[in-house]
Amino acid sequence: MLLGILDALRIISVCLAFFFGYQIGFRNGYDPVAQLHFMTPILIIAVAGISGIEGLLFSKQTAQAKGFEVGSNYQRQSAIALLSYAVVALLVYVANWGLYAELTILFAFCFFFIFSGLNHGLDAIKNKNYKWQNINRPFITLLMIAGLLYPVIMALKGPE
């Protein structure tokens, strides 16, 4: 029940980050830097932060929901890594270190989830692990990356 609430909170937070992020970005012309400045910490904290908390506090239930082994030290290590993304994203935002710092943590976060999505997808194929928490990762990651491509490209392109 609690894992379902956390999963819903994660998905709703990401949806709201994209909705309001795109509104902010297109408010007066297009400002991809403002859009990413809003979206980046919310996305990373919602996805990595909540996943990290789940992995540390509810490790047994989280592993079972994904169809993975229970009690793995790698699960704890992964949860700590996820929390570190969230903490760094918050630090970069609060310290206002700028676009390149925000993009650096966003890219690290995205690359982790790209490879995590591949891992989950291969597990589904190889081990026939079709649990929802396992098979949704590749698709949700692709959707998130697709939604980030335009603002990232436009931000790196700079003002015209």
Q: Which of 88, 129, 85, 135 is nearest to 110 (CA)?
A: 85
Expressed as residue numbers, the domain containing 34 is 2-157
Please identify every stretch of the chain with a pLDDT value under 70, giving residue numbers as ranges: 63, 65-68, 160
Residue 69 structure tokens: 């082994």
Q: Which of 21, 25, 36, 51 is nearest to 140 (CA)?
A: 51
pLDDT in tens, 17-59: 999 999 999 999 999 999 999 999 999 999 999 999 998 888 7
What's the mean pLDDT when you consider all of the chain?
91
How many domains does one find in the chain? Answer: 1
How confident is the model at residue 41, as a pLDDT? 98
Q: What is the pTM of this model?
A: 0.89
